[in-house]
Structure 1
């Protein structure tokens, strides 16, 4: 009896200590393995901890905005509202995160829950402390009012409760999921005392209360947003923030046309541009500002996974339900010709969904990947096991006969035949017809050769160009036949993949399942990814998913680049080290010495031009005045370009006018039969410039 009591006593005493011993408390966490930065780290390796604060950076965005809430399905969000989270990821690790609002976190071995201890110094911009109540409110608000994709992303969070004055406990809906603590730590934390009297589900142009390094101080809906650095930001000295957020002011100006943004960067109206067009990169920036070293043009390599950009079929449409039809149309897309003739050979063909990483499938399946796929034999194409997947290729000469022949064979097998030079359904007699939805003229230019090739097969393919707002709404409603989408890829995929590929999200408006995929095999593989026990299992399972998606022909892969192509005026500096995710202006800083040298060089150049009266040839780009202001304001040009068709003006000639090629050869320009409307355009621009200058002078901007 005494022995039994002794055993019971020992168990009662030791069991609590045993449970505690199975938990981990740390400053950070990794999905697999240990975080790379120790508890006493002072800053991330890819930043300059001594970077000076100050200056302004002027950015540009194409389109418009009508809301500051990016988490709901309504509206077109603008920049500026970026709530902080409990944890923040590092940019040089695959999947590690460290405390931001949380000073530490604790979790058990199975990661079924995680407790975050909040920093007592964390504050909202109005000085109110960030509390556990804010954390709980944020979870409830996202769960109830966020858009489908955001809801799905945080669906793994089963419950949040207060377990101490400054401790919040998250419970997982999927015990064993290694990603859960990081997913919980990424939840955007909202101010309860601000939002509880407002409707989070509605759009708003009232800048929401935040807690981060910047806040919105000025904006005009659809035109611009100004963010200014919070001088007394509570987290400015945290290791995760050192060397970042260095600009005093960030101004983002919206333009309706990407060509005007190019003009704006060349004229100095904006400071930084990430150029996505290879043709523009190759031929649009041969300007004096670059040759003189004022405007820098750099390709900065990165090692981040490429994800996939391509033509996404809407398989909810009957026309695209047959995989043979989808495969056939893919044979018509001639990437090699487009790359050679439109992009100067600067692009790399995308061949899978997780490119530029160990996650992409190669060759034929083997090892653990083959073991995973074997249980689906008979449910996936047999070719998947014996053939290497290849995207169609050509010699780049514009007439890939073998590809067209293969396309006709597949279409015939799917019940489509040619009659009277039209591809028609042999049962209904209806011609194959579909639209490709785009939101920019740059996309239109890329797609046009594809549409021309489709017409050679008797297909009635059309381009539907809409404005940015309509484009976003139509994508949210799945109101398209084919759409170009770029999906980024994580180096450590997890539960977010459900939002892209699973049956559950296929019919949820606003989800990321753009192709409308409903495949039980894909569903199971996505769940296996979310619950992978280690890195090796994760890699094998992602490769299996990649292969199944490729053989499903849901997307015609387009292309990618393996560097960031940036243009910036030479008044900024950046760290020597670039993280594998790529460069970011978050790590850059305003360099006063460089700005002084830039302004001196420009002033000297202007002086030389003034004194050189023998030069009769005006430059073919916008030259700037001493205060770095273009003669014609790109904002005026942007407004005029959006209305010039109402005057019956020709697009190409107006583009020539607005890039000021007219001044290089005025005699040739005025030989045009209809030059008078263009003279009217010049007059409007000059008058508009006068009004803009007066408005800016009144505001103290010049």
Structure 2
């Protein structure tokens, strides 16, 4: 009988092995996690290819910020945190490379372990990891940081970590994240991006108190001095525990990083030309075309440079707040897209520098083009009831004008749409089918956008639509956007080469109902919720591309925005004493804090 039982156990053991049973679930242990495929850099690599590993250390970098700040707690959904108060001060479990679509390498974590189905991940912390006050970084800090961000942080964190079922410290240096059932390959990487904070520091103080006392971090810099709302200075830590790690070689080269605060961009630009700060990324086409002139530019003291990149451009647009009854009609939203004359704006306001945005994943292979292919249709057809019919029959394209500034043909098409939907013009004013006048407020805080929005409002006036352009200060603007207290605004959503869980915060129905979320448009559609889930569950790059394109189509035909424009290159201006290596394809607007250096420090 014992022999028979032993034989049965052996058979069960074999079956479990053959069919991947839980008793024998294979796990992988590595220095890096990639979304799809294998990491570019093997264990024991010396440094990333795109850095200058022997870049001189020292000198300074001064940057500008428009607005103000009132705290050093960037994870809280209130107040305005000081620039640099997270990325410069707090390390994360892993760090992302800039020459791969999505691969994370260990920073606080020396290694990661996960099963094939990615239902959990375990991080083993480096023994030498330390906070600036000397306390070691331990698993309990990771657990505590996660719970505080999820429960008391900005709503973004709750959505981002929504599928984490449990986090637990297995030992002093080992922490495990377990995930809810379902396919979510990205979660093992998302939790690696967690900023880890010192639990002991908050033992006797509330975590959600936004104040001007800088907490100790584990990152390369610490706050050296500040003047509230005006200036903050960070000093590179000579005792930074991770300065010699491969992921950090060639990074964090400046001895001091200074953020100067200005009331508006015009004042900030003039200050830059005077030499009051060192580096800026320009997002105003008029400034780029006309303002970067003078002796400092002729003599080479200030350098201007355009650097191409492969980052998805995302979507910037005039965003409808569909929580407003007026904008719940997609016909009105579509009609209003015809009033924006991009071709005229690009020629007369942007100096021909921009391209028209048509996708929420513009400038990438993720953008939907043409009609949906068979693989996309397999995703879209079961959701047909909740999708606009044109998702299946037409390729989306924003209206194109004659560039005259008075797009009469486009406005006639808008009038026809509105008339067919029951809208009427009475005494020069457009009224809804229910007899309500079509009027709304366009919220701004950037003065530069008035020259763009006012011509748009003038064309809307031709349709009988009253758009009152209102500009407020930045603090009021931020508060109103957080509370969705606007009708229409300029805004957007950045995208990565590997979209995933953040899409829930952008388009999810739950996010539409929660203040401070990034679902500015109030998108709430079960079909879009399902497509977002499909994107998150993609197991291969091919699946991710197909599913993201299907999501893109649903968003395009929802008319949640009037699409604006994009660039496929960065525009930098900087003092000639600064230098950078050849920038990698996925480099972002990091303000030069990561890869650049000060030549005068040599």
State the partner residue of 1:268: 275
State the partner residue of 1:698: none
Q: Deviations over 1:214-269 (max 9, x none)?
A: 01111111101101100110000011111000000001011001001110111101
State the partner residue of 1:499: 505
Q: CA deviation at 1:24?
A: 0.4
Report whether the alignment pairs 1:587 with 2:595.
Answer: yes
CA contact (8 A) 2:281 2:589 kept: no
State the partner residue of 1:91: 98
Report whether the alignment pairs 1:257 with 2:264.
Answer: yes
Instruction: Please identify, of 72-81 and 26-35, the stretch whose mean Cα deviation from structure 2 is larger.
Output: 72-81
Report whether the alignment pairs 1:524 with 2:563.
Answer: no
CA contact (8 A) 2:233 2:256 kept: yes
State the partner residue of 2:548: 542
Report whether the alignment pairs 1:154 with 2:158.
Answer: no
Could you tell me how far apart the structure 2 residues matched to 1:20 and 1:60 are? 55
Instruction: Please identify, of 533-542 and 118-127, the stretch whose mean Cα deviation from structure 2 is larger.
Output: 533-542
Could you tell me how far apart the structure 2 residues matched to 1:419 and 1:189 are? 60
Q: Which runs of 5+ in 1 are unaligned?
A: 595-702
State the partner residue of 1:361: 368
Q: CA deviation at 1:45?
A: 1.1
Q: Which runs of 5+ in 2 are unaligned?
A: none
Instruction: Please identify, of 369-378 and 180-189, the stretch whose mean Cα deviation from structure 2 is larger.
Output: 369-378
Could you tell me how far apart the structure 2 residues matched to 1:159 and 1:116 are? 14
Q: TM-score, normalised by structure 1?
A: 0.82
Distance 1:453 1:206, change over 3 A: same
State the partner residue of 2:514: 508
- Number of aligned residues: 593
Distance 1:5 1:418, change over 3 A: closer
State the partner residue of 2:291: 284
Q: Deviations over 1:449-495 (max 9, x none)?
A: 11121122221111111111111110100000001112111111111
CA contact (8 A) 1:46 1:579 kept: no
Report whether the alignment pairs 1:182 with 2:189.
Answer: yes
Q: How does 1:284-683 map to 2 (within 5 A)?
A: 284-425=291-432, 427-428=434-435, 430-582=436-588, 584=590, 585=592, 586-592=594-600
Could you tell me how far apart the structure 1 residues matched to 2:488 and 2:27 are? 49
Indicate which of 67, 71, 76 corresponds to 1:67: 71
Could you tell me how far apart the structure 1 residues matched to 2:260 and 2:409 are? 47
State the partner residue of 1:618: none
CA contact (8 A) 1:179 1:494 kept: yes
Distance 1:86 1:582, change over 3 A: closer
Q: CA deviation at 1:5?
A: 4.2
Distance 1:426 1:31, change over 3 A: closer
Indicate which of 20, 30, 35 corresponds to 1:31: 35
CA contact (8 A) 2:34 2:103 kept: yes
Considering Cα pairs closer than 8 Å and 6+ residues apart, tell me whether 1 or 2 has the greater RCO.
Answer: 2
State the partner residue of 1:76: 80
Provide the secondary structure at the position in 1 that maps to 2:386: coil
Provide the secondary structure at the position in 2 that maps to 1:36: coil
Higher helix share: 1
Q: CA deviation at 1:415?
A: 2.9
Provide the secondary structure at the position in 2 that maps to 1:549: helix
Could you tell me how far apart the structure 2 residues matched to 1:74 and 1:325 are? 34
Give the aligned CA root-mean-square deviation in angstroms: 1.8
State the partner residue of 1:228: 235
Distance 1:536 1:422, change over 3 A: same
Q: TM-score, normalised by structure 2?
A: 0.95
State the partner residue of 2:120: 113
State the partner residue of 1:103: 110
Instruction: Please identify, of 244-253 and 153-162, the stretch whose mean Cα deviation from structure 2 is larger.
Output: 153-162
Could you tell me how far apart the structure 2 residues matched to 1:537 and 1:581 are? 25
Could you tell me how far apart the structure 1 residues matched to 2:351 and 2:370 are? 29
Q: CA deviation at 1:3?
A: 3.1
Q: CA deviation at 1:19?
A: 4.8
Provide the secondary structure at the position in 2 that maps to 1:70: coil
Instruction: Please identify, of 535-544 and 415-424, the stretch whose mean Cα deviation from structure 2 is larger.
Output: 415-424
Indicate which of 241, 245, 254 corresponds to 2:252: 245
Q: CA deviation at 1:58?
A: 0.7
Could you tell me how far apart the structure 1 residues matched to 2:72 and 2:601 are? 36
Could you tell me how far apart the structure 2 residues matched to 1:557 and 1:499 are? 20
Q: Deviations over 1:18-75 (max 9, x none)?
A: 9567000000111111111100111111111111100011100111111111212111
Q: Which has the larger radius of gyration?
A: 1
CA contact (8 A) 1:213 1:233 kept: yes
Provide the secondary structure at the position in 2 that maps to 1:107: strand
Q: CA deviation at 1:10?
A: 4.6
